[in-house]
């Protein structure tokens, strides 16, 4: 494991301490543009507009910036990324370059993977069977996506025998946060690939540091956006802000909830697009272990053959073991099974993870658990889920969401990214694109 220098430790702490310096309370005011939401898209939109000379007011309903980017350092004494935990597609990810330039420890995710069948490592014959099943599934999805078939993976993947549930989990719930009958092959095909990287100080710490130059008014809720006359009026919990345009960067879960009202209502096509981009469900459970029961190196992946399902959703977790060499492990459930656990409460997820570990590694596992923590994004009123993927037949919705309404309302966020959806970088670039379009109009 790479040692963390004293400078890096100080930097990591500073990333949190700077937050109060650039947040404040909102008041009724006028501006060129209002930005609603201070996640990656909101911050990049506000920064880009400000750099072009526009007056900008950025409001955030919660008490912090970052949205689904959140690092907890208290539960385990080491960084625990409760939301976004990886920098995807390193070649096109500006946060990796920013982190390196500013003293963060950015490193590539190792390729080590441990696969279990029952209570033992997978053997060579089983490994060959699994790889063949994955290849069949991916080839079927790739052909459908390439040919523009906006259908679910479940409708095109052939019978994979006794590896069916395992492949379902690895390709669907574990990656997309949805089961294979719930997302579009064309949407999946559109996503950019690339290597994953980690930040030893936490993605949340990195984001907080990168956003120091942007003024955000926190604890200010956007309640209604009026756009029937000239410009827009954003009614907030702290008063009304009048502007020429607004960039709405909240999740599609929040948009679908109706928590922000629009007067007049959004065009029907826009409302339909929001419904076609529902939030998926992903459940991080963090356990800090005193013993490395997996026997892996730092940041290795652990998966196992899935034998059970819950209402058609694979009943399983995937794990990142010994994160950063700290003994912290991430156990991730996805899709409808994750939603079921989230609705049942944190204890249900903890009990499931521990029971699975006992089944594979023996009852002594429980005595190695030092601490646990998790985060519920499903019931968080600022998110209502993890990240968005288009329903089968709904690939068109991303293009529709990127279209402005009357050159006054723009939407930005990971769900509006054409090829980096579900990622921080995609949200960041979406905010910049919205700012560029606004600059051409006003």
CATH code, domain with 405: 3.50.50.60
**102 in the same domain as 115:** no
Alpha helices in 55-202 (DSSP H): 94-101, 124-146, 164-168, 174-176, 185-190
| Structural contact between residues 279 and 385, judged by C-beta atoms closer than 8 angstroms | yes
The residue from 317, 345, 374 where one domain ends is: 374
Q: Is residue 118 part of a domain?
A: yes
Same domain, 233 and 354: no
380 domain residue, yes or no: no
Cα distance between residue 286 and residue 296, in whole Å: 17
Number of domains in the chain: 2
pLDDT of residue 118: 97
C-alpha separations of 290 from 322, 326, 329, 403 in Å:
10, 9, 11, 51
Statement to judge: residues 100 and 203 lie in one domain? yes
101 and 127 in a single domain? The answer is: no
Domain contains 170 = yes
Do 317 and 343 have their domain in common? yes
Residue 117 lies in a domain: yes
Are 98 and 231 members of one domain? Answer: yes
Q: Are the C-beta atoms of 94 and 431 separated by less than 8 Å?
A: no
**CB burial class (10 A; 0-12, 13-18, 19+) of residue 163?**
buried
Q: Do both 102 and 11 map to the same domain?
A: yes
Residue by residue, DSSP assigns 145-166 as HHTT----GGGTPPP-GGGHHH
Question: 239-248 and 232-236: which strand pairing?
Answer: antiparallel
Question: pLDDT 10s digit of each residue in the chain, 442 long?
Answer: 333 332 233 233 333 333 433 444 445 569 999 999 999 999 999 999 999 999 999 999 999 999 999 999 999 999 999 999 999 887 789 999 999 999 999 999 988 999 999 999 999 999 999 999 999 999 999 999 999 999 999 999 999 999 999 999 999 999 999 999 999 999 999 998 888 899 999 999 999 999 999 999 999 999 999 999 899 999 999 999 999 999 999 999 999 999 999 999 999 999 999 999 999 999 999 999 999 999 999 999 999 999 999 999 999 999 999 999 999 999 999 999 999 999 998 799 999 999 999 999 999 999 999 999 999 999 999 999 999 999 999 999 999 999 999 999 999 999 999 999 999 999 999 999 999 999 999 8
Domain assignment present for residue 424? The answer is yes
Is the same domain home to 94 and 35? Answer: yes
Tell me, yes or no, whether 166 and 289 share the same domain.
Answer: yes
Instruction: Tell me, yes or no, whether 165 and 288 share the same domain.
Output: yes
Q: Is residue 303 part of a domain?
A: yes
Q: Domain containing 292 — which CATH number?
A: 3.90.660.10
Contact (Cβ atoms closer than 8 angstroms) between residue 394 and residue 276: yes
**Same domain, residue pair 294 and 367:** yes
Examine residue 363 and state whether it is found in any structural domain, yes or no.
yes
In angstroms, the Cα distances linking 257 to 81, 404, 409 are 26, 20, 18
Q: Are residues 91 and 210 in the same domain?
A: yes
Range of the domain at 332: 110-192+282-374
Question: From CA 163, how far away is CA 126, in angstroms rounded?
Answer: 10
Give domain status of residue 387, yes or no.
no
| Token representation of residue 34 | 């209002």
Last residue of a domain, one of 374, 405, 431: 374
């Amino acid at each position: 494991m790479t040692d963390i220098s004293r400078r890096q430790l100080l930097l990591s702490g500073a990333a949190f301490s700077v937050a109060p310096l650039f947040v404040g309370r909102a008041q009724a005011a006028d501006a060129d543009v209002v930005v609603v939401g201070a996640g990656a898209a909101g911050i990049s939109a506000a920064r880009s507009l400000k750099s072009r000379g526009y007056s900008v007011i950025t409001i955030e309903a919660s008490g912090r910036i970052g949205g689904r980017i959140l690092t907890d350092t208290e539960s385990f004494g080491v960084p625990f990324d409760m939301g976004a935990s990886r920098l995807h597609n390193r070649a096109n990810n500006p946060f990796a370059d920013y982190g390196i330039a500013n003293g963060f420890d950015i490193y590539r995710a190792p390729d080590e993977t441990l696969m279990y069948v029952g209570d033992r490592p997978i053997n060579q014959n089983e490994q060959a069977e699994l790889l063949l099943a994955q290849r069949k599934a991916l080839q079927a999805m790739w052909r459908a996506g390439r040919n523009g078939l906006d259908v679910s993976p479940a409708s095109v993947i052939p019978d994979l025998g006794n590896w069916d549930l395992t492949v379902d989990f690895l390709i669907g719930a574990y990656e997309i946060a949805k089961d294979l009958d719930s997302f579009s092959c064309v949407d999946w095909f559109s996503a950019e690939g690339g290597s994953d990287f980690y930040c030893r100080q936490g993605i949340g710490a990195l984001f907080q540091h990168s956003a120091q130059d942007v003024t955000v008014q926190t604890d200010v809720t956007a309640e209604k956006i009026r756009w029937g006359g000239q410009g827009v009026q954003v009614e907030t919990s702290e008063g009304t802000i009048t502007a020429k345009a607004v960039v709405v960067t909240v999740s599609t879960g929040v948009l679908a909830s109706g928590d922000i009202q629009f007067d007049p209502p959004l065009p029907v096509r826009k409302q339909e697009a929001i419904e076609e981009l529902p939030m998926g469900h992903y459940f991080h459970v963090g356990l800090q272990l005193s013993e490395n029961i997996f026997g892996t190196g730092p940041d290795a992946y652990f998966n196992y053959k899935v034998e059970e399902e819950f209402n058609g959703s694979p009943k399983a977790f995937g794990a990142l073991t010994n994160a950063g060499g700290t003994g912290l492990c991430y156990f991730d459930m996805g899709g409808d099974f994750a939603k079921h656990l989230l609705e049942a409460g944190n204890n249900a997820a903890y009990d499931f993870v521990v029971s699975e570990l006992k089944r594979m590694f023996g009852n002594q596992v429980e005595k190695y658990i030092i601490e646990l923590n998790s985060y519920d994004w499903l019931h968080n009123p600022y998110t209502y889920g993890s990240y968005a993927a288009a329903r089968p037949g709904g690939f068109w919705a991303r293009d529709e969401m990127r279209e402005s309404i009357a050159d006054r309302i723009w939407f930005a966020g990971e769900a509006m990214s054409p090829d980096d959806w579900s990622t921080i970088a995609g949200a960041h670039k979406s905010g910049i694109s919205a700012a560029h379009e606004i600059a051409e109009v006003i």
